[in-house]
């Protein structure tokens, strides 16, 4: 076997695995792979990612925006952000599976926990960076505190806030890949259970996970453009 040719050969096998069902060489006769299973696992990964992201947003965004508005709790938030980065996702999934249980709900909780720190800290930093004079002007115009957050601080800090949401999403979708360890069959199943799917299946899983993450990131980048007010776009151009 020539070392230079192996990579291309394996990628070909992986692509074939994605598009056509084949007989698993280990389990004997069982059909694995194919577009149907690939789509099914992709949808599962999307589902658990969306649920976890929604949960993280509901918890983290109001807290981050509110604390940023009030300018309180910086020390706690910085610590939280650092601790969040240091949390190994593999240990989280393992502990959730062993102590809470397997299935969609425990995995969603674990993934949401990973998503909360970047959303909170970016929302805080973003709102803090908004010029206080602007906020005072809004207050002078008779806006309520809630209106100031929603109509002034959030639009002006959207790039930082979205940055946090994008980091959270990347972390969540990446960790959803190892969710099969806790009983949720995402695309990671192709990777983790290589004994069933074979080397082609494992590489196919890696390709699909990478494409999925890039697609989600691309969509969020587009969303960020849409959410950025036109006035701010002119300024940065």
Residue linked to tokens 């994008």:
166
Identified binder of other proteins from the candidate list 53, 55, 138, 203, rule CB under 8 A: 203
Sign of the dihedral defined by the CA atoms of residues 48, 49, 50, 52, in that order: positive
The reply on whether position 107 binds other proteins by CB under 8 A is: no
The reply on whether position 205 binds other proteins by CB under 8 A is: yes
Class of residue 197 by CB neighbours under 10 A (exposed 0-12, middle 13-18, buried 19+): buried
Identified binder of other proteins from the candidate list 115, 116, 191, 198, rule CB under 8 A: 191
Q: How many CB atoms lie within 10 A of CB 213?
A: 18
The reply on whether position 10 binds other proteins by CB under 8 A is: yes
Shortest distance, CB of residue 127 to other proteins, whole angstroms? 20
Q: Within its chain, how far is the Cα of 129 from the centroid? A: 25
Angle at alpha carbon of residue 136, lines to 135 and 138, rounded to 5°: 65
The reply on whether position 223 binds other proteins by CB under 8 A is: no
For the window 143-182, what string marks contact with other proteins as x by the rule CB under 8 A?
---------------------------x--xx--xx--x-
The reply on whether position 99 binds other proteins by CB under 8 A is: yes
The reply on whether position 109 binds other proteins by CB under 8 A is: no
Class of residue 104 by CB neighbours under 10 A (exposed 0-12, middle 13-18, buried 19+): middle
Binding site for other proteins (CB under 8 A): 6-7, 10-11, 82-83, 85-91, 94-95, 97-99, 170, 173-174, 177-178, 181, 188, 191-192, 202-203, 205-207, 209-210, 213-214, 217
């Amino acid at each position: 076997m020539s070392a230079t040719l192996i990579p291309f050969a394996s990628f070909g096998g992986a692509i074939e695995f994605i598009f056509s069902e084949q007989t698993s060489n280990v389990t004997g006769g069982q059909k694995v792979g194919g577009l149907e299973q690939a789509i099914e696992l992709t949808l599962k990964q999307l589902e658990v990612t969306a649920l976890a992201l929604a949960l993280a947003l509901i918890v983290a965004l109001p807290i981050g925006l509110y604390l940023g508005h009030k300018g309180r709790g910086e020390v706690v938030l910085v610590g939280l952000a650092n601790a969040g980065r240091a949390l190994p996702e593999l240990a989280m999934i393992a502990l959730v599976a062993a102590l809470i249980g397997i299935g969609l709900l425990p995995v969603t909780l674990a993934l949401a926990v990973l998503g909360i720190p970047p959303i909170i800290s970016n929302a805080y930093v973003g709102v803090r960076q908004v010029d206080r004079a602007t906020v005072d002007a809004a207050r002078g115009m008779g806006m309520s505190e809630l209106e100031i957050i929603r109509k002034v601080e959030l639009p002006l800090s959207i790039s930082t806030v979205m940055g946090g949401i994008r980091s959270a999403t990347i972390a969540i979708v990446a960790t959803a890949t190892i969710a099969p360890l806790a009983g949720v069959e995402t695309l990671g199943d192709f990777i983790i259970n290589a004994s069933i799917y074979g080397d082609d299946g494992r590489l196919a899983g890696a390709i699909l996970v990478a494409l999925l993450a890039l697609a989600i990131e691309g969509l969020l980048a587009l969303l960020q453009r849409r959410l950025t007010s036109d006035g701010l776009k002119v300024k940065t151009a």
